[in-house]
Amino acid sequence: MIRIGILGDIGSGKSFIAKSFGYPVFNADSEVGKLYKKNKRIFIKLNKSLPKHITQFPIKKQEVTRAILVNKNNLKKIIQIIHPEIRKKINIFLKKNKKSKLIVLDVPLLLENRLNKRKDILIFIQSRRTEILKRLKKRQNFNSKIINRFRKIQLPLDYKRKKSNFIIKNNFTNNNIKNQIRYILKQIIK
């Protein structure tokens, strides 16, 4: 099984590009959302760790956002609780898709949390900062302070770019992306 890890800045189009490969995708952000909605154990742990902020089940994203904004250490506490669950979910995803020729990992902290393997093919999504900001502002839950908190816990983009096997230049047009993906797939699937 070929494992592709998608790297890049927040809002660079990682999830869209991950889906564009046409193979099974593990989307960590989506899985975190499901944990907040459906996992009572996660709620109990977060409530115990952040009782002033996480008060209701299902967990409201606004509560998580407020907790992160109030104190930057709260983000670390949340990650410590959520990360082991995401790791388990990745393992389930890998077992479920073990017969697949290729899988895509869309995990924002892939390198930071050492979820990648040495043989993984890393693809960096490069987008202009102005385009990223324009796209982020369209998001319903856009908050520049939150985005900056997340950026601070991530490895530098230059480091991720250098670690990558391929770079996809995302100018947010479908044809451009499809051509780049076709090229990459030709290189890695023999």
Residue with tokens 């023999």: 190
* Better-predicted residue by pLDDT, 132 or 165: 165
On the CB side of 34, CA atoms within 13 Å amount to 9
pLDDT tens column, 179-189: 999 999 999 98
140 pLDDT exceeds 70? no
The mean pLDDT value of the chain amounts to 91
Compute the radius of gyration of the chain from its Cα atoms: 17
pTM for the whole structure: 0.90
Q: What is the dihedral of CA 153, 158, 164, 168, to 10 degrees?
A: 100
What architecture is the 1-24+101-190 domain classified under in CATH? 3-Layer(aba) Sandwich (3.40)
Cβ-based neighbours of 68, under 8 Å, separated by 6 or more: 74, 75, 78, 146, 149
Which amino acid makes up residue 30?
S
Q: 23 is written with which tokens?
A: 């193979």
Which amino acid makes up residue 87?
R
* Cβ burial, residue 149 (10 Å; 0-12/13-18/19+): middle
173 pLDDT exceeds 90? no
* Cβ burial, residue 112 (10 Å; 0-12/13-18/19+): middle
pLDDT tens column, 24-51: 999 999 999 999 999 999 999 999 999 9
In the sheet with 25-27, reading across from the earlier edge strand, the strands are 25-27, 102-106, 2-8, 121-126, 166-169
* Cβ burial, residue 177 (10 Å; 0-12/13-18/19+): buried
**% of the chain with per-residue pLDDT over 90:** 69
